[in-house]
A and B are shown apart, each in its own frame.
Chain A
Amino acid sequence: MFKKEFANVLKQTGWFVAAALALPVALLVVRLIPRQPYFAVFLSVFQWGLLFWALFLGASVLARERSQQALEYALTLPYSRLGLLLRLTAPRLIVLGGLWALSLCAYVLKGNEYSAVNPLLLAFLYIGLFTTSLSLSPIIENFIALCLGSIFVWFLAFPAHTYLLIAVGWAKGFQLSGAGARGLGFLRDISYASAGYIFNLLIFQIVLLAFPFSAALILSFRKFDVRPSAAFAKKYFKTLGLSILIFAAAAFVMTFLSVSMRFRDVYLTPDHKVVEFHVGGARILSPEGIRKFKTPYPVSWVKSADGIHFVFSDYGNNLSCLDAAIAEVRTIYQAANRDRGIWQFWPYDGKVVFLVKPDTPIVISLANIDKPTSAGSNVTTIPFPAEWAQSEKFPRLFGTGVNDGRHFWLFYFEQSKKPPLRLWENGRVEGIPLSDNKPIRSALYVNDMVIIDTAEETKIFQDRGTSFELVREIKDGISFSLYDRDARVLDQPRAEVIYGKHGDKIAKLDLKALQVTDIAPLKTADGAWVTSFFPESFLLTEIDSEAKTLKVSSICDDKVKLLTEFRDFDFRRQGDRFNVQKSGIIIHRKGTVSVYAFPDLLEIKF
């Protein structure tokens, strides 16, 4: 039986493969799609066509027996019902697995080049669709009805997963009413952030779909016979209902446990209070005790304004500020329309600049941290240039200033070929002329100069008030990297030197002579960052994955001095990370958080 079925499935699959090979030719010849390499089209056709083939393979498991009046004969063969099901299903699984393996090989060879979908993600969808159609095949005799029914049920897994996340959110105590679609987006975000895409696909295609439908089929198929399918359907649906309940409960528990409520953003204030944020709120730890704050909506992003004020956006599209000095939370901005999200925000100098999306054009707004506002009041808005609004990359604010009494803000788009721009408060836009459109890795505004790092070179532009003039290009093939983990250069500091990375060395950029001088080699290849709190201090953090250490050094007077070394820190381990702040260093290591205060980097414990 197995051999016969395998031969039969292979013969049918040959048609699928032939169609997948021929269709791209037809699409390209007839010019239904833009000109592109054949393999690119074939890969897409094959990957997405395999979804339909998975559906067909599951749905066809009894099709031949029914269409050729052979079902009675098949049921008299000398094996159990499950034995028969296995012999009919195994060849289909093998062929589906083989086709998936082919798509994986193609992806590994050329996929990234042609923006193909990761086959691992698609594998879950194939399994979900195959098991659904396989499971429904004994109860739906009409092939077209079976295919349509399977697709419908498969799509039901999407809202099922959403409702599961809502249930988890409710169990975790989140308030989602009023958050609308963004509330659901939050739930997806938090689940994906905590557990990852693979886990979530596992939940909604395997635990919520494939497992219950497979269980229902396996448990009820021993009752399958030649009577009209309605007789078997009753038994099947009873088993399916129970399976769905059991696996939904399992999915709930798995998701509940995976959604992390750990404090993910931790800050140290100058007076050595520890401020912690998680999705449901915040708390301040001090020698006097713990003060907790429950936010009305789940917290999305947090940024420290000055080490005492912490600005955060939430999924209710509000912008709020936690004042650690007086232990108070106040709302800075409340979106009038819940569908308009706080896209990006940057606090500086008692203010916060933020972008609201979707807006056409995107509006850049300015609010005061100390003055609570309702939507529209006490908020200055400037339209963001339309052509930049279409950019798919995030804009980064890297500098601000005042010229002739008018404020301006400097933006660049990370890893984008779009040139940086200066946006004036009267709406005027000024481009910074990067002549070669290379992607920007980082940018800095200091001493009335814009310093741009494009990975291969560094360009320095002098701000002339109404335009920028290129004054220096450092083109030795390695750029001077200004990237640091928490940009704190929006307050227009002045400095004589800044330190950064120059390839595999620590280097100094003299801001008068505009010269780069290497001062010390970087000892580890795994990762090194220069964090600047200029003009006072520069810190170098280096990780060594082999030794599992994190070293923190100060850079001063062209010398690198080791301050401390943290052991058992594994950057490759999920959850291990560090954050260098003006008051100290926060280490997340093996699920615990430790706070070390400058200048001695002694651990803060309460």
Chain B
Amino acid sequence: MSDTILEARELTVRFGRKAAVHDVSVAFAKGETTVIAGSNGAGKSTLLRCLAGVIVPDQGEVALGPGLTRDKIGFISDRLSLYEDWTLQEAWRFHKNEFRIETREMPRIEGFELEAGRKIKSLSVGERTLLHLSLLLAQRPAVLLVDEVVHGLDPFLREKFLETVIEAMDELKTAVIMVNHTLSDTAQIPERVLIMDDGRFILDERREELERKVKKVSGEGDLPPDIPCLFATSTEFRRDRYIYPFREEWRRNSAVNFEGIGLDEIVKAFIGGAYVQKRVR
């Protein structure tokens, strides 16, 4: 990609003998929004930490695109790491000095106010998440890495968070790479979907392409044998089969009703399929 801003090249990260990320290569473009999904332990957070520089890969490298420097990469981890005995004021002052931020006052998120004298350890998870976001956005990041924090926010803060992220994308053309399980609120945000399983990518598609290529067939009827079934669920009352990659001609040539589904359900199908594959192996 000519406008690549961040690239992982043949990354391998091990925890003991197990490879959490195995020979992964992926490039991210400027201003692109990507969601990384996958089963638990797939290596998503490990990959994100490699991109953030928090983990040094055992093999491979993370290459910064032209003009990108480390101070322009913002990372919100699920651990919400900050010095806990600091007050908000102290945290802002430190962050401002280290990242040479010119703004005097910490950027505020509309509708979300915190006292400057409060200690970080006294903040709730949601408050810490938005504090992190405020600090990182003050850096005017070119890349924002977000690791599984959205699902822990209440609906109000989740909306505030996503609005702020979208504003950053619009104003700063920030590339956002988000690890997320639940995509019900964020389904329309990502342009690109990556799904990981067992340390590797099993899917890398544009969202629109993916929504076009994945269909669901509900009901008991048999499917023609040449239609690939990614994943199937079956209960007493319902049977669903997820088809990937879907071809339009099947709609014309068979009596099967192929439904379009949202990104949330698409991701669930892929993860389910991966679990099935593991059981078979």
Interface residues of A, Cβ cutoff 8 Å to B: 1, 4, 64, 68-73, 75-79, 222-228, 230-231
Are A4 and B94 in contact, CB atoms less than 8 angstroms apart? yes
Q: Are B16 and A230 in contact (CB under 8 A)?
A: yes
A230 to chain B, nearest CB (A): 7
Inter-chain CA distance A72–B82, complex, in Å, is 8
B residues 192-235 in Cβ contact with A at 8 Å: none
Contact (Cβ within 8 A) A68 B85: yes
A1–B83 Cα gap in the complex (Å)?
12
Contact B56 A73 (CB under 8 A): no
Within 8 A of A (CB), among B46-100: 49, 52-56, 69-71, 73, 75, 77, 79, 81-85, 94, 98-99
CA distance A78 to B81 in the complex (A): 15
Indicate if the CB atoms of B81 and A72 lie closer than 8 Å: yes
Known: A228-B15, A230-B16. A77 touches B98 (CB 8 A): yes
A73 touches B83 (CB 8 A): yes
- Interface residue tally for chain B (C-beta within 8 Å): 24
**Top 3 A-B pairs ranked by shortest CB distance?**
A78-B71, A72-B81, A73-B81
| Interchain CA distance A225-B71 in the complex, whole Å | 18
A79: B residues at CB distance < 8 A: 70
22 A–B contacts from the bound complex (CB under 8 Å):
A4-B94, A64-B83, A68-B83, A69-B82, A70-B82, A72-B77, A72-B81, A73-B83, A75-B53, A76-B75, A77-B98, A78-B99, A225-B49, A225-B55, A226-B49, A226-B54, A226-B55, A227-B15, A227-B55, A230-B16, A231-B14, A231-B16
Q: Residue A225 contacts which of B16, B56, B77, B94 (CB distance < 8 angstroms)?
A: B56
> Which of A4, A69, A76, A230 is most buried by chain B, counting CB atoms within 10 A of its CB?
A76
B55 touches A76 (CB 8 A): no
Instruction: With both chains docked as a complex, state the minimum distance between the C-beta of A527 and any C-beta of chain B, in angstroms.
Output: 62
**Contact code string B99-123 (vs A, CB < 8 Å = 1, else 0):** 1000000000000000000000000
Q: Which residues of A contact B16 (CB under 8 A)?
A: 230-231
Interface-centre pick from A72, A78, A79 (highest chain B CB count, 10 A): A72
When distances are taken between beta carbons in the complex, the residues of chain B under 8 Å from A77 are 98
Complex Cα gap A224–B53 (Å): 10
Contact between A224 and B56, CB atoms less than 8 A apart = yes
Query: Which of B56, B71, B79 is A223 in contact with, Cβ under 8 Å?
Result: B56
Taking A72-B75, A226-B54 as known contacts, 14 extra A-B pairs with beta carbons closer than 8 A to each other, sorted by chain A number, are: A70-B82, A72-B49, A72-B81, A73-B81, A76-B52, A76-B54, A76-B75, A78-B69, A78-B70, A79-B70, A225-B55, A225-B56, A231-B14, A231-B15
Grouping DSSP codes into helix (H, G, I), strand (E, B) and loop, the A interface class, with mixed when no group exceeds half, is loop
Q: With A and B bound together, what is the CA distance between A230 and B82 in angstroms?
A: 24
B49 contacts across to A, CB distance below 8 A: 72, 225-226
Q: How far is the CA of A76 from the CA of B53 in the complex (A)?
A: 6
Task: Point out the residue from B14, B70, B81, B98 that lies within 8 Å of A69, measured CB to CB.
Answer: B81
Q: How far is the CA of A223 from the CA of B54 in the complex (A)?
A: 10
Q: Which residues of B contact A223 (CB under 8 A)?
A: 56
Closest CB-CB distance, A223 to chain B, in whole Å?
5
Contacts of B56 in A (CB 8 A): 222-225
Contacts of A73 in B (CB 8 A): 81-83
Which residues of A lie under 8 Å from residue B55 when comparing CB positions? 225-227
Contacts of A227 in B (CB 8 A): 15, 55
The answer on a CB contact under 8 Å between A71 and B71 is no
A69: nearest chain-B partner, CB-CB: B81
How far is B85's CA from A230's CA once the two chains are assembled, in angstroms?
28
Known contacts being A78-B71, A222-B56, is A71 close to B81, with CB within 8 Å?
yes
- In the complex, what residues of A have CB within 8 A of residue B52's CB? 76
Query: Which residues on B sit within 8 Å (CB–CB) of A1?
Result: 94, 98
The docked-state distance in angstroms from the alpha carbon of A68 to that of B73 is 22
Q: How far is the CB of B95 from chain A (nearest CB, A)?
A: 9
Contacts of B79 in A (CB 8 A): 69, 72
B39 to chain A, nearest CB (A): 21
Tell me whether B70 and A70 are in contact (CB under 8 A). no
Q: What's the Cα separation between A230 and B56 when bound, in Å? A: 14
Docked CA distance A227–B55 (Å): 7
Most chain B CB neighbours (cut-off 10 Å) among A1, A78, A226, A231? A78
Q: Are B84 and A68 in contact (CB under 8 A)?
A: yes
Complex Cα–Cα for A224 and B54 (A):
9
A222 cross-chain contacts in B, Cβ below 8 A: 56
Nearest chain B CB to A330 CB, angstrom units: 68
Separation in Å of the B177 CB from the closest CB of chain A?
14
Residue among A64, A68, A69, A227 with max Cβ neighbours from chain B (10 Å) = A227
Smallest Cβ-Cβ distance to A70: which chain B residue: B83
Contact with A along B3-32 (1 / 0, CB 8 A): 000000000001110000000000000000
B54 partner, pick from A68, A69, A225, beta carbons under 8 A: A225
Cβ-defined contact, A70 with B53, below 8 A: no
Bound-state CA distance A401–B16 (Å) is 82
In the complex, which residues of chain A have a beta carbon less than 8 angstroms from the beta carbon of B83? Answer: 64, 68, 70, 73
Contact call B70/A72, Cβ cutoff below 8 A: no
Complex contacts, B81 vs chain A, CB 8 Å: 69-73
Q: Which of B14, B77, B85, B98 has the most chain A CB atoms inside 10 A of its CB?
A: B98
In the complex, how many angstroms separate the beta carbon of A346 from the nearest chain B beta carbon?
Answer: 69
* Cα distance, A75 to B70, chains bound together (Å): 11
Cα distance A204–B76 in the bound complex, in angstroms: 46
- Write out the residue numbers on chain B whose beta carbons fall within 8 Å of the beta carbon of A64: 83
Contacts of B73 in A (CB 8 A): 76
In the complex, the answer to whether B54 meets A75 with C-beta atoms within 8 Å is yes
Name B139's closest neighbour in chain A (CB-CB).
Answer: A78
Query: Closest approach, in angstroms, between the C-beta of B108 and any C-beta of chain A?
Result: 21
Tell me the minimal C-beta distance from B59 to chain A in angstroms.
12
Q: How far is the CB of B154 from chain A (nearest CB, A)?
A: 22
- Docked pose: A394 CA to B71 CA in angstroms: 69
The interface bits of chain B over 150-171 (1 if a CB of A lies within 8 angstroms of the residue's CB, else 0) are 0000000000000000000000
CB-defined contacts of A231 to chain B, threshold 8 Å? 14-16
Shortest B43–chain A CB gap in Å is 13
* A64 nearest in chain B by CB position: B83
In the complex, what residue of chain B is closest to A80 when comparing beta carbons?
A: B70
Smallest CB gap from A222: residue in B: B56
A64 CA / B81 CA spacing, docked (Å): 12
Tell me the complex Cα distance, A227–B99, Å: 25
Interface centre among A4, A64, A73, A78 (most CB of B within 10 A): A73
Q: CA A363 – CA B70 in complex, angstroms?
A: 77
Expressed in whole angstroms, the minimum distance between the Cβ of B14 and any Cβ of chain A is: 7
User: How far, in Å, is A486 (CB) from chain B's closest CB?
Assistant: 68
Q: For residue A78, which residues in chain B have a CB less than 8 angstroms away from its CB?
A: 69-71, 98-99
